[in-house]
């Protein structure tokens, strides 16, 4: 039985082997050539091309963060897989711009957008997403899931994967259309500008990529964008707006810098987040200051109070285009900030260098994000800027490019002559000495560097110094004109003829060192922003009550936070300033004359002279209905808002009636007016006075006066008293039979028209303003009717009758 089984088993094995041999032979036979009808279908073609089929020998390539290629008219990125999902900062700037866009306020170098992006893969595509850090939560918390679900990141663009590099570590994608399509997130034209210039579309046939470069930490692309527009701001017959855009993509640090919480009592540029993981019983808004990452090389020496160099100092390279004679002033303007960083414990924290030559470093480029620069731009724009790029996750400033526009020199020369020429002989020329121009440039660069290290304007800084102290040589040479270079206190217009040795130009002050210490001092034992807060608060409280250390970005209602002002008394400062302008005006033609030249410079300077006087006057206006603002926390004594005193307001109205609303004969220089225009003096002065009058009669100013009277009674300067004082000043001729000249007639018309405008503004929700204004109009009408009989004929009588009829029509329409 066992033998039979064995034989049976052997038979089946042999049968199986024979069957296997037949199948094998059949398979081999099918591999041989066969009739066409019997050929198997070819394998499915790969979705990807071979790398060498695309990146051929004609490719112009550059290696860096990504490998980038230009192949004919196509442009490619190799996106490394190990950088997928990494945070990168994409900054869009306008590098070249058409004349007149944005009314001249948008200039070359302006940033049009800044956003965090991530490259991600979705099957056979690479996606570019815009990532927001406005709403956050720690990924270890349950609420993180909700934050992610309710803040889905938009896809800016999708790219088909064309191929993989040789070791399959990167995907090759074509990015040409990313820069030649009208993607709003990358565009230089805002929606409002598109509407203003009636932009129809982007013309791809006239748009192209001009440059693509890759560096270790960033990629730079420049591309020309041409739009069809019905009403372009310049070259209108072309129907075209062209601009060159710069797209800079930076790899952000893998470990964000520890953020520092902002406190509004110290001025800093900021970035904001809503933290849903906070223990507060709400979505907690966190505001962080923007600053460079400065860490001590020797933490132990730093902790002992020694000055220590930072691990990575802030270095600015000078543009090779900077004229040689100005370079030393630019270097000084940058390194002036070293003293402020020393207050924070760092030495050599900020350094100026010349850009290396091609021989010294052939790969150096101002567009490389590892290098911050001071650019010298040949343009007619009168400006300078201190922009920076920062990490929105932490506020860390990544890089910065200061921009100096060549014609900015002209603005400073003009203001120097107008505001200091009465007491400063060297300012009485259009050919200001190079040393003095250099000093002005140095301080402008310092101001812009201040912005670039995180500091905004501080308009409260000038108010810290007594006005009369600005006439002292010893005071101004030691303390400057304001407590910070970040105020707009450009020149000392208070100093009078005979005030020898005073400082004319601004400089850094004590607030600068205080603010830099507060923002940059390393606090080693604080391992979180919240842990730093008690120390930061103590530093502020140590200076509480000292005006030197106060901050305000400026506003329309605080007399102590006015742009372009100097000193703590606007009436006194403007009185000094006016006295100086009365010396400058009759000498302006002589000081600006150039043999063989026309009167263009004189016309320009005269227009700016009127502007200077207007600023002086408006500083005084702010006292009326003014409210002092001083930021406080709940653990500090005192209040945040304090109205200006009645005495200050009464004195200010007296100044305006005596010096602003009277006819400014000192401005009516025949030698100037007869050489710059055939007519227009009456309307120019009328416009000046009308603008200041409108400022006095602003609705919000009157509302503050109403509030002040309601809260403080007779100690307040009431709205009705102010309106009465203003009327008595503007219509003072009617108390007798004095002549009313053309300038005053213009002002009186403007007064009635402005009162009428206030009634219109107030008509929807009637308030005390309407009632007071109507009473003023009736009083003016009554006074005009009574006085008109004393003027027998002529233009004055016509004017008074016209005012009577105008008031009638206004009150009837009511």
Answer whether residue 583 shows pLDDT above 90: yes
For residue range 218-248, what is the model confidence (pLDDT) as tens digits? 999 999 989 999 888 888 788 888 888 889 9
pTM assigned to the model? 0.86
Gap between the Cα atoms of 427 and 263, Å rounded = 41
Q: Please list the residues that pair with 129 across neighbouring strands.
A: 118, 155
Confidence (pLDDT) at 611: 94
> Quick one: 183 exposed, middle or buried, by C-beta within 10 A (0-12, 13-18, 19+)?
middle
Specify the higher pLDDT residue, 94 or 563: 563
Burial 20-52 (b: 16+ CB within 10 A, else e): eeeeeeeeeeeeeeeeeeeeeeeeeeeebeebe
Percent of the residues in the chain that have a pLDDT greater than 90, as a whole number: 67
Gap between the Cα atoms of 173 and 225, Å rounded = 22
Q: Please list the residues that pair with 375 across neighbouring strands.
A: 403
For residue range 307-343, what is the model confidence (pLDDT) as tens digits? 999 999 999 999 888 889 999 999 999 999 999 999 9
Summarize the confidence of residues 460-483 as an average pLDDT. Answer: 97
Domain boundaries, the chain: 51-249, 299-568, 666-813
Answer whether residue 19 shows pLDDT above 70: no
Beta-sheet strands, E only, within 549-662: 627-629, 641-643
For residue range 508-532, what is the model confidence (pLDDT) as tens digits? 999 999 999 999 999 988 999 999 9
Q: Can you name the CATH fold of 299-568?
A: Collagenase (Catalytic Domain) (3.40.390)
Rg (C-alpha) for the chain, rounded Å, is 36
For residue range 104-146, what is the model confidence (pLDDT) as tens digits? 666 666 778 888 999 999 999 999 999 887 666 666 666 655 6
Confidence (pLDDT) at 113: 86
- Report the DSSP pairing between strands 155-164 and 170-174: antiparallel
Answer whether residue 148 shows pLDDT above 60: yes
Confidence (pLDDT) at 162: 96
Confidence (pLDDT) at 403: 82
Summarize the confidence of residues 426-431 as an average pLDDT. Answer: 95
Answer whether residue 760 shows pLDDT above 60: yes
- Compute the residue count for the chain: 814
Confidence (pLDDT) at 105: 60
Note whether 106 and 196 are within 8 A (CB).
no
Summarize the confidence of residues 778-785 as an average pLDDT. Answer: 95
Note whether 330 and 366 are within 8 A (CB).
no
For residue range 76-102, what is the model confidence (pLDDT) as tens digits? 999 999 999 999 999 888 877 777 777
Confidence (pLDDT) at 141: 64
- The mean of the pLDDT values for the chain is 88
């Amino acid at each position: 039985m066992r033998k039979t089984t064995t034989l049976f088993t052997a038979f089946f094995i042999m049968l199986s082997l024979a069957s296997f041999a037949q199948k094998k032979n059949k398979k081999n036979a099918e591999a041989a050539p066969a009739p066409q009808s019997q050929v198997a279908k070819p394998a499915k073609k790969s979705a990807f091309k071979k790398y060498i089929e695309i990146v051929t020998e004609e490719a112009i390539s550059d290696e860096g963060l990504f490998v980038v290629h230009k192949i004919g008219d196509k442009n490619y990125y190799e996106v490394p897989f190990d950088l997928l999902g990494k945070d990168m900062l994409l900054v869009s700037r306008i590098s070249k711009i058409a004349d007149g866009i944005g009314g001249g306020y948008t200039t070359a170098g302006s940033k049009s957008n800044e956003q965090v992006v991530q490259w991600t893969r979705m099957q056979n595509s690479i996606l570019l997403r815009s990532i927001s850090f406005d709403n956050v939560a720690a990924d270890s918390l349950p609420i993180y899931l909700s934050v992610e679900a309710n803040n889905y990141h938009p896809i800016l663009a999708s790219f088909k994967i064309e191929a993989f590099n040789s070791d399959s570590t990167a995907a090759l994608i074509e990015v040409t259309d990313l820069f030649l399509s009208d993607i709003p997130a990358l565009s230089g034209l805002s929606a409002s500008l598109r509407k203003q210039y009636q932009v129809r579309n982007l013309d791809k046939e006239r748009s192209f990529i001009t440059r693509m470069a890759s560096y270790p930490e960033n990629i730079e692309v420049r591309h020309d964008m041409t739009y069809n527009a019905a009403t372009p701001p310049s070259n209108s017959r072309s129907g075209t707006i062209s601009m060159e855009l710069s797209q800079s993509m930076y790899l952000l640090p893998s470990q964000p810098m520890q953020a520092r919480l902002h406190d509004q009592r110290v001025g800093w540029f900021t970035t904001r987040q809503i933290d849903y993981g906070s223990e507060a019983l709400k979505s907690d808004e966190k505001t962080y200051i923007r600053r460079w990452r400065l860490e001590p090389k020797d933490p132990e020496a730093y902790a002992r109070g020694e000055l220590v160099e930072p691990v990575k100092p802030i270095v600015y390279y000078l543009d090779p285009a900077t004229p040689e004679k100005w370079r030393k002033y630019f270097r000084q303007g940058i390194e002036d900030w070293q003293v402020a960083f020393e207050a924070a414990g760092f030495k050599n924290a900020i350094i100026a260098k010349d850009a290396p030559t091609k021989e010294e470093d052939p790969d150096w480029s101002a567009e490389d994000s590892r290098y911050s620069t001071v650019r010298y731009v040949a343009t007619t724009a009168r400006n300078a800027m201190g922009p920076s790029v920062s990490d929105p996750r932490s506020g860390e400033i990544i890089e910065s490019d200061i921009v100096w526009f060549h014609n900015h020199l002209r603005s400073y020369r003009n203001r120097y002559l107008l505001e200091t020429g009465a007491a400063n002989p060297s300012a009485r020329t259009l050919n200001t000495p190079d040393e003095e121009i250099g000093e002005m440039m140095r301080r402008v660069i310092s101001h812009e560097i201040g912005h670039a290290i995180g500091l905004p304007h501080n308009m409260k800084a000038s108010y810290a110094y007594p006005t009369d102290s600005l006439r002292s040589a010893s005071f101004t040479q030691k303390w400057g004109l304001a407590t910070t270079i970040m105020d707009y206190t450009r020149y000392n217009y208070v100093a009078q003829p005979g005030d020898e040795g005073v400082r004319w130009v601004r400089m850094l002050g004590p607030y600068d060192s205080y603010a830099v210490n507060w923002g940059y001092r390393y606090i080693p034992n604080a391992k979180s922003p919240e842990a730093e807060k008690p120390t930061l608060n103590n530093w502020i409280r140590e200076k509480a009550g000292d005006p030197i250390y106060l901050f305000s970005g400026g506003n329309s209602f605080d007399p102590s936070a006015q742009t372009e002002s100097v000193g703590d008394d606007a009436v006194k400062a403007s009185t000094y300033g006016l006295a100086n302008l009365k010396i400058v005006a009759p000498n302006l033609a002589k000081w600006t004359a150039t043999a063989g030249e026309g009167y263009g410079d004189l016309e320009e300077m005269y227009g700016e002279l009127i502007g200077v006087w207007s600023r002086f006057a408006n500083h005084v206006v702010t006292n009326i209905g003014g409210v002092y603002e001083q930021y406080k926390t709940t653990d500090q004594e005192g209040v945040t808002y304090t109205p200006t005193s009645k005495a200050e307001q009464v004195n200010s109205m007296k100044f305006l009636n005596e010096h602003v609303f009277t006819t400014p004969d000192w401005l009516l220089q025949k030698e100037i007016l007869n050489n710059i225009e055939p007519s227009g003096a009456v309307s120019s002065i009328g416009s000046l006075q009308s603008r200041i009058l409108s400022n006095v009669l602003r609705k919000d100013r009157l509302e503050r006066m109403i509030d002040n009277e309601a809260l403080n009674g007779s100690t307040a300067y009431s709205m009705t008293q102010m309106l009465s004082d203003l009327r008595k000043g503007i219509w003072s001729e009617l108390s007798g039979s004095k002549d009313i000249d053309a300038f005053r007639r213009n002002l009186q018309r403007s007064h009635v028209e402005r009162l009428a405008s206030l009634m219109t503004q107030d008509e929807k929700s009637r308030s005390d303003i309407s009632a007071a204004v109507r009473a003023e109009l009736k009083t003016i009408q009554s006074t005009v009717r009574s006085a008109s009989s004393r003027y027998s004929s002529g233009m004055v009588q016509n004017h008074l009758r016209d005012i009577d009829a105008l008031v009638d029509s206004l009150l009837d329409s009511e």
